[in-house]
Chain A
Amino acid sequence: MKKIIYIVLAASFLTSCVVVKEYEKVNINDPDMVLSSRKANKFETSFQAYRESASGANGGKTGGGCGCN
């Protein structure tokens, strides 16, 4: 649990990182740099929610809506 707290605290300091200007975001705006799961992963994520106990924390569905775990 301490590790989780450290991660959250570390994240809070990330806001003090250097600010990248809009015109410097060419690489950040690359389609492969998107901070979410790919659209093609939608059904893959669904079967993982059925076959595994863990779900959520990926920006998507967290549970409910199906008879899955």
Chain B
Amino acid sequence: MSEAEFVKVKYRLTEQVAQPGGMTAGLASERAQRELAAHAGDAMKSLGNMIGRLEVMCRDKTASLDQVYEESSTILDIAGLFDKRVLCDACYSLCELVDRQRTHNKQEWTSITVHVNAARLLWTRDGQDPETLKSVVDGLWAITDRLNP
């Protein structure tokens, strides 16, 4: 076992946050939320386009699992920044499904298509009836969990 060296580091950030002035955490969060809201419309449009690309992949069935994973992961990334929780959960399930299919060396389009259709539904119904949307996501996880990690 090699000897580990421990270094005490003093971050400039530590001094900066404590400087007089600035704003309260509550105000900073509110401001950030407002700034972010200005980008939400474009983001939702892009998410729709990305789901569209996944739909084409499911129709043509020629894309590789890596391509499906990449697209789904990008949706998760964008939706995640805008706190689109259910869409994120659906895409997380799709990423996990594809990752498990990669591990098992099998590509099964039916379960991928169910995920993509659900993602379209969740995107269309963003913010409506959270209980029903959650049950859709639970269903997706039931499909993903049929394949062992």
A binds B: no
Interface residues of A (CB under 8 A from B): none
Interface residues of B (CB under 8 A from A): none
